[in-house]
Structure 1
Amino acid sequence: MKLAIIAEYDPGFEPHVQTDAAIAHSASALKLDVEFEWLSTADERIEDLTTFDALWFAPGSPYRDMNRTVNAIRYAREQKVPTFGTCGGFQHMVIEFARNIVGISDAQHAEYDPYASRLIVSQLACSLVGREMQISLKASSMTAIAYGTYSVCERYYCNFGVNPEFVDQLSSAGFVVVGTDSDNECRVMEIPQHPFFVGTLYVPQARSLPDRPHPLINAFLLAAQR
């Protein structure tokens, strides 16, 4: 199995190191032979991802090339390639969906342009970096099925999230909210008709352990295997 991890890899950034470890944990537990490679959004290879079985859009934004990132996400969504987005990666999945499905062509991310007219991803009122919070999952979602429960506690590294003003519009168009926090803020979204197109504002890789791989990462690799 070939997996592309798309972000600007930084060995000193904890979520990136945790991503490598979490993939190894899940691959070992599932007895899967997983070969993974980090690709910068500025790398021209991101324009042709047909050799990869799955894509993970990782934390660490802003990315060097937002347009290439959005195009890669569109490819994965349209071609039914298993796709996982965590933290910044999830935020870019939201931008892609807003632009190409909802029809908000000028959908923007506040980290790139804080003064844009339509900020689909906006700065959080309170930073979630380093915080752990409880999340309620929609019972019928693939995310809840992967966890085997409807309530989970996860860790965050983000300062940005889905603008609440656009959540209902995105969800009605098919990128469905399946996880919310205690304030009913959107924290997990997925496309139900896709083999695996899941975005989380939190970083599940932070809670993966060698003897207890993360169930959502397990589900992502199993979707790629299928």
Structure 2
Amino acid sequence: MSRFIFITGGVVSSLGKGLSSAALGALLQARGFKVRLRKLDPYLNVDPGTMSPYQHGEVYVTDDGAETDLDLGHYERFTGISCRQTDSVTTGKIYSNVIAKERRGDYLGATIQVIPHVTDAIKEWIKADLHDEDFVLCEIGGTVGDIESLPFLEAIRQLGNELGKERAMFVHLTLVPYIPAAGELKTKPTQHSVKELQAVGIQPDLLLCRSDREIPADSRRKIAQFCNVRPSAVIQALDVDTIYAVPLAYHAEGYDREVCRHFGIDAKEPDLSKWQEVVDRIRSPEGEVNIAVIGKYTSLLDAYKSLAEALRHGGIANNVRVNLNWIDSEIFEQEDTVQHLEGVHGILVPGGFGERGSEGKINSARFARERKVPYFGICFGMQMAVIEATRNLVGVKNAGSTEFGSTPEPVVGLMTEWVRGNVLEKRMAGGDLGGTMRLGAYEAILKPGSAVAGIYGKNAIFERHRHRYEVNINYKERLEKQGLVFSGMSPDGILPEIVEIPDHPWFIGVQFHPELKSRLFEPHPLFVSFIGAAVTQSRLV
């Protein structure tokens, strides 16, 4: 029978519940347990797919096509376990399901209420689609005290009572701030946060206390006394220099030991040697490379969370530090590209939506192509590289994308139907934005002898997509005559998936998002190869 660990947060947001959940999952894995991680978000959106990156950071996409919170990326990178649609739920999704049931008459004419109908739906979601996992870690989004999170807190309170202590545990993440004027750490915010949780009927079993400095033993005893937990269950979560040191730090503080103690489990000590090896590589690299990331959401780096981590994974694999230079693509529409990109060892143009900054990305692709600087175009970044090549190699000066409006030369356009396996999928140009993209894992067939076939070591791959527009296959022949090879295609040969320039040191554009499948101990081959090319470039600059 699965044991459930519910992880809540208090005092302030952005304390790192997602990282804490992922790190605990990794520690339990290292002890030999099978784990599953889930995220319950209290916002009313059905999913984050239509939310601005400035509002919510990146949208993480699973193999089965769910648009989810970025914390699922932490779960996958730390545990290596692929998440599914059932591992992410929002208030909007819960209410949609409840209302749909009411419309069908499933409730037999009952008055629909938050308790029991909404809370029952949440509990059903938490317990659904499990496969003999030893531990199911459920992170509750938001902060205790938020109105919107109350149904989720009530649901896990009920579930905790139904399962009993032997199968349920509550972990609460709080902040212990240092007040410079007083010269001391303050425990009162944690005490108040726990009281908020107790007010809804939940007594935490373990407190994870974030702090930027050591929490004295007497302060931890004070927290334990006022918050009704054992002193050993007050775990300090200190700031670390790399997120991949978090499992090591938590284990040193006894986090996973307390979890096993709560459930009465006598488990083997975890082997964390591979984590230590990674941290040692991060702290003592053999060199460094400078990568320019040309995007439109560079003022909020959570919009590119998976991308940044995938680049770091590539750096770890090459034993180098990756210095990321985040540059707003609009700069290149007003200023000379050279002054910002001269001397960089690699250029990456990530995904995005909309016309803003597109010309700057096109100029970046041209700089990389002409200056022989390693270039990696992802999704929108591939499309802009194809438009650049069509304009400046083929000579079609008005090449553009229908995403930006009507264009006489639609090098990039909206595909209204495609084949996925044996199923024809369709979408309408005027349809809802939510859920109308090509989402999830799709197959691509690689050209034998191409650079990407060599990088992957295979001729067929499955990668995760999230986009509406596609490169127009009608320009393929003219582009290939000028040296831009279409080296990856959909199985039916209709949708371009990868382009490359064979006589360039490293120039690859992909329609999918490889960063979503890069994991700490399984770095994505494209990122490993890209950083390797940047290392070579650094020796030439």
**Structure 1 length as normaliser, TM-score?**
0.93
Deviation of residue 51 (structure 1)?
A: 2.6
Distance 1:211 1:46 in 2: 39
Q: Aligned to 1:42, what secondary structure does the other structure show?
A: helix
Distance 2:437 2:448 in 1: 25
Within-5 A mapping of 1:71-220: 71-113=363-405, 115-126=406-417, 128-184=437-493, 185-220=495-530
Which structure has the bigger radius of gyration?
2
Distance 1:142 1:74 in 2: 20
Distance 2:450 2:293 in 1: 24
Bigger shift: 21-30 or 75-84?
21-30
Deviation of residue 210 (structure 1)?
A: 0.4
Change (3 A) 1:46 1:30: farther
Deviation of residue 31 (structure 1)?
A: 0.6
Distance 1:131 1:97 in 2: 28
> Which one has a larger percent helix, Structure 1 or Structure 2?
2
Change (3 A) 1:183 1:128: farther
What do residues 38-94 of structure 1 show as CA deviations (whole Å, max 9, x unaligned)?
211123577221031110010013252333322221111011000000100000000
| Structure 2 portions without partners, runs of 5+ | 1-288, 418-435, 537-541
Does the 8 Å contact 2:374/2:507 carry over to 1?
A: yes
Does the 8 Å contact 2:349/2:378 carry over to 1?
A: yes
Q: Aligned to 1:131, what secondary structure does the other structure show?
A: strand
Q: Aligned to 1:169, what secondary structure does the other structure show?
A: helix
Distance 1:63 1:118 in 2: 16
What do residues 121-175 of structure 1 show as CA deviations (whole Å, max 9, x unaligned)?
1112245442211111112111111111111110001111111221222122211
1:7 paired residue among 263, 272, 295: 295
Distance 2:506 2:322 in 1: 17
Distance 1:166 1:215 in 2: 28
Matched to 1:216, the amino acid is: L
Sequence identity percentage? 29
1:35 paired residue among 310, 318, 323: 323
Change (3 A) 1:162 1:207: same
The aligned residue for residue 533 of structure 2 is 223
Does the 8 Å contact 1:3/1:55 carry over to 2?
A: yes
Distance 2:376 2:336 in 1: 16
Matched to 1:176, the amino acid is: V
Does the 8 Å contact 2:415/2:469 carry over to 1?
A: yes
Distance 2:355 2:399 in 1: 16
Change (3 A) 1:225 1:46: farther
Deviation of residue 99 (structure 1)?
A: 0.2
Matched to 1:118, the amino acid is: E
Matched to 1:145, the amino acid is: G
Distance 1:53 1:62 in 2: 28
Distance 1:12 1:99 in 2: 33
**Structure 2 length as normaliser, TM-score?**
0.40
Matched to 2:352, the amino acid is: G
Bigger shift: 32-41 or 195-204?
32-41
Bigger shift: 118-127 or 151-160?
118-127
1:20 paired residue among 266, 289, 308: 308
Deviation of residue 17 (structure 1)?
A: 1.3
Deviation of residue 29 (structure 1)?
A: 2.0
Matched to 2:363, the amino acid is: N
| Structure 1 portions without partners, runs of 5+ | none
Q: Aligned to 2:499, what secondary structure does the other structure show?
A: strand
Deviation of residue 11 (structure 1)?
A: 4.4
Q: Aligned to 1:81, what secondary structure does the other structure show?
A: coil
Does the 8 Å contact 1:46/1:72 carry over to 2?
A: no
Q: Aligned to 2:508, what secondary structure does the other structure show?
A: strand
Deviation of residue 12 (structure 1)?
A: 5.3
The aligned residue for residue 246 of structure 2 is none
Does the 8 Å contact 1:6/1:58 carry over to 2?
A: yes
Distance 1:118 1:43 in 2: 26
Does the 8 Å contact 2:355/2:404 carry over to 1?
A: no
Figure out how many residues of one structure are paired with residues of the other and give that number.
Answer: 223
Does the 8 Å contact 2:296/2:357 carry over to 1?
A: no
Does the 8 Å contact 1:54/1:83 carry over to 2?
A: yes
Bigger shift: 126-135 or 172-181?
126-135
Does the 8 Å contact 2:348/2:376 carry over to 1?
A: yes
